[in-house]
Structure 1
Amino acid sequence: MSHNRFELAPEIERDSIWLADWPLCQLRVQNDANYPWFILIPRRPGMVEIIDLTQEDQNQLWRESAYLSVFLKSTFKAKKLNLAALGNMVPQLHLHHIVRYENDLAWPAPVWGKVPARAYTEAALQQLKQKLALLTLPL
């Protein structure tokens, strides 16, 4: 990964689908239809931790995360919203937003490694994009 310009980590690109570019972050959906699972990736090169961002970018990340979180909790009627910035396997800074329900396949455990990912069908992806159409508004 170059440190001069933003490049998406190959693992994130492989495992997720682009939805929008926001002022700071790229918004993607994890290609796992088992859960509504979204990822915000700040478009800044070389970032690993949230504290690596400038204070201005940290504030913008939290604004975008809160905007996404409010939308997800209301749109998907989440029992719980899991947010995580682990980065153990993929060090590029990215923030997971995972909608959870008491009857989902991993509840109450974390989603990682519980069940195999189930790729979105084209129809399901189009339905998801319709729900998210309002999210493309600038923040």
Structure 2
Amino acid sequence: MNDFNLDQRLDADTFPLGDLPLCRVLLMNDARYPWVILVPRQNHISEVAELSEADQAQLWREATQLGSVMKTLFEGDKLNIATLGNVVKQLHVHVVVRKHEDATWPAPVWGNGSAEPYALELLASLRDQLIAHIDRLAFD
């Protein structure tokens, strides 16, 4: 995992928050939703099935644990976890907290409206909150 390369589109659309045992954690630059993206730090992987069974399990642990923390932190009504990869081939998992009053409820966030970039103050606060929680996650 030393020479990990992040897809250019993911790099352009997100802010790095840190690393979990398997994945790089990225904050999507869309203030309409609490939305992170997990990217396994393995090159040339586009499907979950291409990961080892142990890494598949780890990916799910990371997505569900981080998602649970985010749902509580942001008082969400629903947690969406999904892989799409129709635009960005590199395997990545979207973890999105949804609220009944959010911009596109109940429709999906993907391809629905235009992203609203974070204001710098809100971005800094949100990053600090998420980084603190990411650092506290425990994976055995």
TM-score if structure 2 supplies the norm length? 0.92
User: Which amino acid is 2:66 matched to?
Assistant: L
Instruction: Spell out the pairing of 1:1-139 with structure 2 (5 A cutoff).
Output: 5-132=3-130, 133-137=132-136, 139=139
Distance, in Å, in 1 between the alignment partners of 2:88 and 2:32 is 21
Q: Which amino acid aligns with 1:21?
A: D
The Cα offsets for residues 9-61 of structure 1, whole Å up to 9 and x where unpaired, read as 00100001100111100000100001111100000111111110011111111
Calculate the TM-score normalised by the size of structure 1. Answer: 0.92
In the alignment, the residues of structure 2 paired with residue 16 and residue 129 of structure 1 have an alpha-carbon distance, to the nearest angstrom, of 11
Give the length in aligned residue pairs: 136
Tell me, which stretches of 5 or more residues in structure 2 are unaligned? none
Aligned partners of 1:95 and 1:82: how far apart in 2?
10
Structure 1 residue 116 displacement after superposition: 1.2
SS at match of 1:67: helix
Shift of 1:8: 0.4
CA distance in 1, matches of 2:45, 2:6: 11
Q: Which runs of 5+ in 1 are unaligned?
A: none
Q: Which letter maps to 1:82? A: N
| Cα deviation digits, residues 69-101 of structure 1 (max 9, x gap) | 110111111111111100001010000011111
CA distance in 2, matches of 1:59, 1:118: 33
